[in-house]
């Protein structure tokens, strides 16, 4: 799947995204918020998302 790297280390955003990978005929990315996604009331929890990125 590749590595997961911080989206923007300079601004202090605690969001990590994987490289794009293919499964089931679709392209995906894994998105991880180690301290929770504060935009979705996930503060204090780990938030893990599997996001579709495109179709192949």
Q: What is the pLDDT of residues 26-49, one digit of tens each?
A: 999 999 988 888 777 767 788 999
Number of domains in the chain: 1
pTM of this prediction? 0.67
Q: Which domain holds residue 24?
A: 4-55
Is residue 51 very low, low, confident or very high in pLDDT (cuts 50, 70, 90)? very high
Is residue 1 very low, low, confident or very high in pLDDT (cuts 50, 70, 90)? very low
Q: Taking residues 16-25, what's their average pLDDT?
A: 93
Q: Give the DSSP H or E segment for 24.
A: none
Tell me the two tokens of residue 21. 């990978």
- The gap between the terminal CA atoms of the chain, to the nearest Å, is 17
Chain length of the chain = 56
Task: Give the per-residue pLDDT at 48.
Answer: 93
């Amino acid at each position: 799947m590749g590595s997961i790297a911080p989206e923007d280390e300079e601004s202090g955003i605690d969001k990590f995204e994987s490289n794009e990978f293919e499964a089931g005929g679709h392209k995906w990315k894994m998105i991880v918020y180690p301290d929770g996604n504060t935009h979705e009331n996930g503060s204090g929890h780990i938030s893990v998302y599997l996001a579709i990125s495109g179709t192949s």
